[in-house]
């Protein structure tokens, strides 16, 4: 676990979604408040750790698939803490020249990731809110590492459910998509009320008590994020159903229990 004294001055007494996710994945970059919050969530939803691991397995599969499609640069929005099989680790196993820019608004996630990437010339993190796309796109790290004249993978994995329903999510997504070169890929996973609204309501209560806003969306709302793109087969599906590698992956035989939709779209010319 993290040394709490190292982060003096930061609010580590309130749980944080990125650090809760890290704890659920078996990472060490989390604090007692994060662990307590995820434990409370697991009491309501025993599958909670498996939901996170299934999402991370989807991320790894999607990154490998993108590299297989010729993509060598990645913009990972809402990346959290870049440990436990994140984008640069997965991509660099296939091609060390892949370039990765992470984006997150949590200072602990950013500080931790900066330390982890200190020896990685092809990866960096931007401290910014995803709802400010111009700040993300013009950040020095983004400009240095990414060439928007060439195809890239835009990743919004397990982050858009933290954008409030009253915010213009479609407008935000369109702004990011507007800079993508033809052939770019857009990778999304998003939690949902489907198919168990009573469980999702209980999950929301836990997050509300932790001061973390979660906005679940329907399959149609997730599909709308890809309007105007070519939706890659098999379309909008549960995370374990998107190009599964083998039956040992989390929730492989019970995809609906992931409570998370996943999809990939291709930017047209």
Residue 206 has pLDDT above 80, yes or no: no
Round to whole Å and give the CA distance between 228 and 41. 37
Q: How far apart are CA 76 and CA 60, in angstroms?
A: 12
Is the pLDDT at 3 greater than 50? The verdict is no
For residue range 144-182, list pLDDT tens digits in order. Answer: 999 999 999 999 999 999 999 999 999 999 999 999 999
H helix runs in 192-241, sequence order: 197-209, 219-224
Alpha carbon dihedral 24, 28, 33, 38, in 10-degree steps, equals 0
May I ask the CATH class of domain 48-266? alpha beta
Residues 6 or more apart from 140 whose CB is under 8 A from it?
Answer: none
pLDDT of residue 185: 98
For residue 32, give both structure tokens: 């007692």
Are the CB atoms for 182 and 188 separated by under 8 Å? no
- Spatial CB neighbours of 260, under 8 Å, sequence gap ≥ 6: 51, 54, 55, 58, 158, 189, 190, 191, 192, 238, 239
**Per-residue model confidence as pLDDT tens digits over 105-148:** 988 889 888 988 999 999 999 999 999 999 999 999 999 999 99
User: β-strands 237-238, 260-266: how paired?
Assistant: antiparallel
pLDDT tens for 5-59 read 445 456 678 888 888 888 888 887 788 988 998 898 888 888 888 888 999 999 9
Separation of alpha carbons 146 and 223, rounded Å: 27
* Structure tokens that stand for 134 in this block: 């111009």
- Note the pTM of the prediction, 2 decimals: 0.91
């Amino acid at each position: 676990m993290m040394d709490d004294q190292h982060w003096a001055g930061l609010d580590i007494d309130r749980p944080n979604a990125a650090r809760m996710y890290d704890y659920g994945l078996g990472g060490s970059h989390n604090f007692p408040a994060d662990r307590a919050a995820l434990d409370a969530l697991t009491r309501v939803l025993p599958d909670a750790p498996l939901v996170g691991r299934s999402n991370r397995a989807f991320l790894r599969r999607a990154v490998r698939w993108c590299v297989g499609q010729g993509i060598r640069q990645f913009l990972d929005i809402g990346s959290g803490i870049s440990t436990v099989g994140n984008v640069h680790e997965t991509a660099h196993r296939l091609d060390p020249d892949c370039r990765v820019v992470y984006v997150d608004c949590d200072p602990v996630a950013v500080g931790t990731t900066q330390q982890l990437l200190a020896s990685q010339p092809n990866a960096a993190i931007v401290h910014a809110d995803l709802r400010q796309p111009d700040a993300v796109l013009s950040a020095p790290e983004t400009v240095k590492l990414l060439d928007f004249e060439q195809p890239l993978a835009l990743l919004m994995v397990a982050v858009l459910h933290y954008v409030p329903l009253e915010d213009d999510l479609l407008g935000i997504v369109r702004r990011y998509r507007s800079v993508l070169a033809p052939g770019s890929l857009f990778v999304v996973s998003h939690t949902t009320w489907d198919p168990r609204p009573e469980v999702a309501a209980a999950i929301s209560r836990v997050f509300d008590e932790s001061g973390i806003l979660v906005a679940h969306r329907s399959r149609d709302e997730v599909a709308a994020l890809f309007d105007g793109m070519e939706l890659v087969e098999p379309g909008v599906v549960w995370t374990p159903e998107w190009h599964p590698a083998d039956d040992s992956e989390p929730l492989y035989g019970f995809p609906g229990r992931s409570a998370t939709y996943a999809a990939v779209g291709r930017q047209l010319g």
